[in-house]
A and B are shown apart, each in its own frame.
Chain A
Amino acid sequence: MFPGMSQHGRYWLLILPAVALMLVFYIYPLLQVLWISVTEPEPGLGNYRELFTSAFLHKIWWTTARICVITTVLTVLFGYVVAFAMAHVRQRHMTAIMFCVLLTFWLSVLVRAFAWVMLLRTEGVINEALLWIGLTDQPLRLSRNEFGVVVGMVHFMLPLAILPIYANLRGIDASYVSAARGMGASAWKAFWWVYLPLSKPGVIAATILVFVFSLGFFITPAILGGGRVVMISEFIRVAFEETLLWGKATMLSASLLFCVLLILAIVGRVVDLRRVFGST
């Protein structure tokens, strides 16, 4: 097609439109965001100083971190259980489970958040059931607080954990476990010492995916948090749209980005990220 061009050069040509698109619509605006964060309202690092001085920012960073960690731990735990089941049941059952997992994946995040509101609200199904059984004598506050946010987020994130873990578990040769068992390990020991370490790449991939996604979460906290659970992304929205303090908004966006890069860098020192994300 392009004589004289090396094999490699032609492959690059194929992704050129995508690269150009990314440069114009992603990299350039991103740089602009970074630029605003050090130029508005005045040039310098004044916006970033607020990260250290503003008690309110400390609080919402802490809220964000807390919710993200709890969400990630629960999601990976539950995701592992589901993925484990999927990897070990018969094909027909696996297909059914996979269908259910993907079904929730495809549902709009808004629909899911509102569905949880209906279930968790004071006069919702769960509270009515608890009252009827007599477990509580007054309705519990299940939504419009951090509990509700975590429930909604874990539900949203589950497919993101299940899929990479499942892909990893599928690749584990069952004969390792058989060998361990054959040499006298109990089922639990075989799992703990043999199977679990082998599934580490899947668990790490799921953890990174879920945590990074959680950091920027926006809709679910807004709906299930009832306005009281303010995470960093909500604060960015207000700074962009309502108070028009763009310097602050972009500084926080940039900080989120640095956070993600930092996490990847730290994780990258411990494990081989290329292996985790399956490029080798």
Chain B
Amino acid sequence: MTLQAFLLLAAALFCVGLYGALSQQSVVMLMMGLELMINGIVVAAAGFWHRVSPGAPDGQVLVLVAITVMALEMAMGFAVVTALFRTRDVDMTDDAGDLKG
């Protein structure tokens, strides 16, 4: 379990999530992509803690922050989907492009 192994896994998870976040039309599937990206960050932080400085708690604190971000992202995402669905009956990203520049 080298640092490179952890980071390779993190990069793979991040990029699979990036593909999902960019390509999915359904808002809920898009959020799944975002969750996978944060999942990669959790793995990278754990790898840095384990292989670079296990004596300091910084890596663990970063994992804790990433897990919190994951939960908050999902809560906010579902609240926005609920609001959007209630007012406009929309659950696809293509129908919610009001802010497109």
State yes or no: do A and B come from one complex.
Answer: no
Chain A residues near B (Cβ < 8 Å): none
